[in-house]
Structure 1
Amino acid sequence: MSAPSRVRLRPATETDIPDLERWDREPHVLACMGKEAEEGPADWHAELAFYAQCGEVLIAELDDRSIGVLQIIDPNRDPSQYWGEMAPGYRAIDIWIGEADLLGQGHGTAMMRQALARCFAVPEVEAVLIDPLESNTDAIRFYRRLGFRDVGPRRFDEDDCLVLKFDRADFG
């Protein structure tokens, strides 16, 4: 049996913005962002306000060190309509580890397992979606290892992505 993860998720606050802005400039994060990377760092004040309407932004900590971020959104309540018209019962996740020295050590897995548990704690949630760039084969392999299944390719704005889904029936 593996040792319990030391990663924990907590709600992001305005005090996390310097870390979020720094991570937005990291080459490994930029490589996963597609066209959005060309627009420059996100306005994290606006992002936190936006997610307060339709989801949540969580900071992953390892031994009290902020290491990454995870965003969970209810696409049915998303005023931007990024996912288009969506029926209730879904959540969508964005995730990244900001600290390059902590990549490939299982922290992303711990973050995703906690995020899935958080999503499925809501009885109405039937599935969780994720949309990595089609070119991000490492991320796609990671999500498939976790149990996500391919839905298919989809173009979001100017980015070619692969939508994957994790069903409640597979959670356990």
Structure 2
Amino acid sequence: MNQITFRTATIEDLDILLHWDQQQHVIDADPDDDWDWANELRRYPAWREQLLVELDGRPLGFLQIIDPYLEDTHYWGDVDQNLRAIDIWIGEADDLGKGYGTEMMRQAIERCFASPKVTGILIDPLVTNVKAIRFYERMGFEFVEHRDFDSSHCAVYKLQKSKWKTK
């Protein structure tokens, strides 16, 4: 059985993250984002975790968990306290469709809900990313609204902690 683990992303991960940013499936999922890796990998604000995901010790993907209420750019706008927001992707196209994303998301959800204060998790796939939307719906996320973030037309979804507990 393959083991998926998370570790804090560091500046030493810059090359792999820049490489993944050039992969077509990553661009298709988030064409407008500039993660500013060289700076952000050196910052460790209390409201964010940036995690490199490994499969049996090799880089597999990236995961970011933020507190959207405290996040400094206010990307999510006015939101309730005690939420988290997740960004997730697999780096190489060859690793798609193997169940790795499901396990990454399951672990990320468990990590978020390990805090007794966290009540829900937000995600914002592009409206056109039908595969991601189906994936999130299978994980239990429910549609909230369509919203434009910068120039990206997104579907906002939320997973309530109470719904996850019943899985």
TM-score where L is the length of structure 2 = 0.93
Partner of 2:31: 34
| Paired positions, count | 165
1:24 alignment partner, one of 12, 21, 26:
21
2:49 alignment partner, one of 38, 46, 56:
56
Q: Specify the code of the residue in structure 2 equivalent to 1:28.
A: H
Q: Specify the code of the residue in structure 1 equivalent to 2:38.
A: H
1:86-124 deviation per Cα after TM superposition (whole angstroms, max 9, x unaligned): 221100000000011110000000000000011001111
Which structure has the highest helix share of the two? 1
Q: Which consecutive residues of structure 2, in runs of 5 or more, have no partner in the other structure?
A: none
1:145 alignment partner, one of 138, 147, 156:
138
2:87 alignment partner, one of 84, 94, 112:
94
> Contact (CA 8 Å) 2:29, 2:126: kept in 1 or not?
yes
The answer as to 2:114 corresponding to 1:127 is no
1:14 alignment partner, one of 11, 15, 31:
11
For the aligned residues, what is the CA RMSD? 1.4
Offset of 1:5 from its aligned partner? 5.2
Offset of 1:164 from its aligned partner? 0.5
Distance in 1 between residues matched to 2:66 and 2:44, nearest whole Å: 7
TM-score where L is the length of structure 1 = 0.91
For the residue of structure 2 that corresponds to 1:60, the secondary structure is strand
